[in-house]
Amino acid sequence: IERTLSIIKPDATRRNLTGKINAKFEDAGLRIIAQKRIQLTKAQAGVFYAVHKERPFYDELCEFMASEPVVVQVLEGENAITKNREVMGATNPADAAEGTIRAEFAESVGENSVHGSDAPDTAKDEIGFFFSQLEIVG
Ligand code: GTP
Ligand code: MG
């Protein structure tokens, strides 16, 4: 059984889409074993997305992620990392498969409704970034 870190981004929390997005996760067999609503500072978003700091969109991305509250969650299930990325769809909603979260809800390549960890090592780091062990009830 695997765990991954998910973020429901500001464009989605603003439009009251948390429940609809969570239904997609649960329908795919992912269990939400930790969840909280927080607002990041731009500096905290910068640390979380440090891997992208040389990319041209880094500043815009950090500004966006700090602009309004997000919902951070730990999802658990068989192949949770891959399964979550399938449910999310491609980064750019124009390329996202029908029925995916980004196809249905994302507004643009930047404001694309969700984040999901991309590998076991990043999932472990990202879960630890937001959650203590006491907050995760598997
Ligand atoms: P995450 O799950 O959020 O990491 O998405 P991803 O793995 O599908 O995409 P990637 O790691 O390549 O990029 C991280 C995030 O940066 C994306 O989810 C977008 O929010 C943002 N991003 C990526 N490309 C662009 C871009 O060309 N322009 C802007 N404004 N944002 C981008
Ligand atoms: Mg990524």
Note whether 90 and 96 are within 8 A (CB): yes
- pTM more than 0.80: yes
Selection from 15, 31, 109, 30 nearest residue 69 by Cα: 15
- What confidence tens digit (pLDDT) does each residue in 60-104 have? 999 999 999 999 999 999 999 999 999 999 999 999 999 999 999
Selection from 59, 57, 73 nearest residue 12 by Cα: 73
The neighbouring-strand residues paired with 3 are: 76
| Neighbour count for residue 94 (Cβ, 10 Å) | 11
Q: Check residue 38 and give its pLDDT.
A: 98
CA of residue 117 to ligand 2 center, whole Å: 6
Residue of the nearest CA to atom 15 in ligand 1? 110
For ligand 1, whether the C-beta of 110 sits within 6 Å is: yes
For the question of residue 52 being annotated catalytic, the response is no
Q: Check residue 117 and give its pLDDT.
A: 98
CA of residue 91 to ligand 1 center, whole Å: 6
Q: What DSSP designation does 3 have?
A: E
